[in-house]
Chain A
Amino acid sequence: MQAQLERGVQGNPGASGRRQVAVPAGVVLRLLVRNHPGVMSHICGLFARRAFNVEGIVCLPADDVAGGARSVVLLLVNKDQRLEQLVRQLAKLEDVLEIGHDAGGNAAFTAVAGCL
């Protein structure tokens, strides 16, 4: 197991030897959520149930709260006529405290893409 981890999981290496990732165009939603082990299942489950794909996820504890009681989640999603309905459904989740469009655009995802 350890050896396997050290070798790395075999995948489809790109030309550079790394996987190629692309940042698709789309809308970035910024959620402030309660930070606990179930919160991502609530969010991803909602997208899955409503047959709506999430193209990218970035999530870190919010630094404005001691102890990381809250997290910020950036979701990169396709612009779709159902998006407004999805946002309203997201807003109903108890663990979702705030929801908005991210002013930073795709920047976070572009940065992450460089690490993948």
Chain B
Amino acid sequence: MKLTGAQLITQLLERQGITVVAGIPGGANLPLYDALRDSDIRHVLARHEQGAGFIAQGMARVTGRPAVCLGTSGPGATNLLTAIADAKLDSVPLVAITGQVPRAMIGTDAFQEIDTYGLTLPITKHNYLVRSAAELLEVIPEAFRIAASGRPGPVVIDVPKDVQNEFVTFERWPEPGRAEPQRQPADEDIARVAALLGEARRPLCLIGGGVIAAGAATQVELLAQKTSLPVASTLLGLGAMPHDHPLFLGMIGMHAARATNLPLEECDLLLALGVRFDDRATGKVAQFCPQARIVHIDVDASELGKIKQPMLGIEADVAAALAALLPQLRPRPRREWIAEVAALRAAYPLAMPGSECPCEPYGAIRQSAACLGNDVVVASDVGQHQMWAAQAFPFSWPRQWLTSGGLGTMGFGLPAAIGAALAMPERTVVCFSGDGSLLMNIQELATAAEEGVNVKVVLLNNAHLGLVRQQQQLFYGGRYHASRFHAEPDFAAIARGFGVSACDLGAVAEPLAVLHRALQEPGPGLVNVPIAHDANVYPMVPPGAANREMIEGASHASAA
């Protein structure tokens, strides 16, 4: 066979099972786009490379399979960086293919030349600067293998323009790159976990994104059931346990309900599954789970002991570990502990004021959920709306919740929602956003309109960078600065301008009916929800404080 590098890339992508890619063409990747024209792969034209990166992330997060984004050299590559870094921090399998100036011009400061390899080195699992078309036969399958194996993550492949045009003759296609077999736990370690769980009087399980990545959600539920083990989740673990499971405590950390953070103070054994002890989850780490022995199971060995020294650290796939552990456990009722947790839940439930009213933060989220049902995919941007959604949305299945946890990227929501809708066209995707976040990638409304995706943006609009305003109120003595948007755009008009249907709950007599109609209409839509400018997310653990130090809305208001 004799193909150009560009043809090789497209055909290797097809062999990987890639059917949709998102990107933007430019001078240095035009040979690749020329080859894509002859391919069955559907190309989604984003309006900014960061949008393309997050569209690919949306596809990858909702399916668990590597997804692909494309950008040209120079600004194309630099615009992709945020989406790549975001994928690294949240362990999302992403393959980014960038154009580069021709080999002979590398290092000359050529037009649109940037050191993509150097720039992406610290934010990828691995990266390549491809030096010949023949290398692609190895590099493309390897990139997919790396992105999907172990702890998933992003891989960048930088391909000079002349490599895309270079012909290569080869005999046989390489095998598509697949995830390597997951790492199995040692028998004696699993026996120790079983013994520790048997001895523990007040055990608690903390689940994170690693549980979802491993496909271990069902096993976690079995484990909880069998040994009467209450389960709390990190932001990225939400959805792995159904929200209404009697043993599920909700999200821990900075904006957790008291009923979630307090049992962590009491537990004597913490079984940490696929988590990395992020500071937003643990609060002051020295005081996190102060009474507990910790068993930490993670597929990434470098996470064991990185933040919190476990009594027992096990480098293994969570699903493999639970498969080995479950048969070794005897049913335990733990009536006292369960009753204690239930009492905490009864005494300190999450307060969700206004949850009946669609024009209040909790109400917009709860009423959208009630209207959309269980099958909906939920994307969020970053800020107060993200925390309200994490607290209040009734998540019920893994990969239902797409949010930027580690990097906390404003602008994530809309393009990620578009990606999810492209990967799951049979589902509706709702994107909870804020006015600050939405403006960071609002150009992707054009992409949504063009693709006709079933994405509903529910915009909690407080004319502020709300979480910044909240921190200035609580921790900077109310000295507000640069957190207020004095120009308040008409988001419904903007959406309509992009060809997206829109409504404004602030301008209608029956907001609930209008919300329902908007969410049920097929195709992309935007619902502007004006909310109080001074609405805060509570409880809140001050940054750097222990998780037990939660500021409550009402108590804080009375103290102030």
Residues of A at the B interface (CB closer than 8 Å) are 37-38, 41-42, 45, 49, 84-85, 88-89, 91-95
Contacts and interface: CB of A to CB of B under 8 A. Distances in A.
Interface stretch (B240-248, B276-284, B301-309, B450-458): B301-309
Contact of A88 (B117, B146, B301): B301
Contacts of B127: 38
Among the interface residues A84, A93, A94, A95, which one has the most CB atoms of the partner chain B within 10 A? Answer: A94
A40 to B, nearest CB: 11
Given A41-B118, A41-B121, 18 more contacts: A37-B129, A38-B121, A38-B127, A38-B129, A41-B117, A49-B122, A88-B301, A88-B304, A89-B302, A91-B301, A91-B302, A92-B300, A92-B301, A92-B302, A93-B126, A94-B126, A94-B146, A95-B126
A95 to B, nearest CB: 8
B125 A94 contact: yes
A56 B117 CA distance: 25
- Listed from nearest, the 7 A-B pairs whose CB atoms lie closest are A88-B302, A94-B126, A89-B302, A88-B301, A45-B121, A49-B122, A45-B122
A90 B258 CA distance: 39
Contacts of A49: 122
Contacts of B301: 88, 91-92
A97 to B, nearest CB: 13
A41 B124 CA distance: 13
Interface of B: 117-118, 121-122, 125-127, 129, 146, 300-302, 304-306
Contacts of B121: 38, 41-42, 45
A94 B177 CA distance: 15
A85 B302 contact: yes
A93 B124 CA distance: 10
Contacts of A95: 126
A85 B129 contact: no
11 contacts: A41-B121, A45-B121, A45-B122, A84-B305, A85-B302, A85-B305, A85-B306, A88-B304, A92-B125, A92-B300, A94-B146
Contacts of A85: 302, 305-306
Nearest to B145: A94
B192 to A, nearest CB: 21
B555 to A, nearest CB: 40
B121 to A, nearest CB: 5
A85 B308 CA distance: 12
Contacts of B306: 85
A17 B21 CA distance: 62
A99 to B, nearest CB: 12
A76 to B, nearest CB: 22
B452 to A, nearest CB: 39
A49 B302 CA distance: 15
A86 to B, nearest CB: 9
Nearest to A44: B121
A35 to B, nearest CB: 13
Nearest to B117: A38
A91 B129 CA distance: 21
A9 to B, nearest CB: 23
Contacts of B125: 92, 94
A20 B302 CA distance: 37
A106 to B, nearest CB: 27
A67 to B, nearest CB: 15
Contacts of B305: 84-85
B115 to A, nearest CB: 10
A42 B129 CA distance: 13
Nearest to A89: B302
A99 B95 CA distance: 27
A45 B305 CA distance: 22
Contacts of B300: 92
Contacts of B122: 45, 49
A89 to B, nearest CB: 5
Contacts of B302: 85, 88-89, 91-92
Contacts of A37: 129
Contacts of B129: 37-38
B387 to A, nearest CB: 29
Nearest to A48: B122
Contacts of A89: 302
Contacts of A38: 117, 121, 127, 129
Contacts of A88: 301-302, 304
Nearest to A90: B302
A31 to B, nearest CB: 16
B447 to A, nearest CB: 33
A109 B560 CA distance: 63
Nearest to A45: B121
A20 B82 CA distance: 44
A92 to B, nearest CB: 6
A9 B125 CA distance: 38
Nearest to A95: B126
Contacts of B304: 88
Contacts of B118: 41
A38 B131 CA distance: 12
A38 B304 CA distance: 28
A32 to B, nearest CB: 17
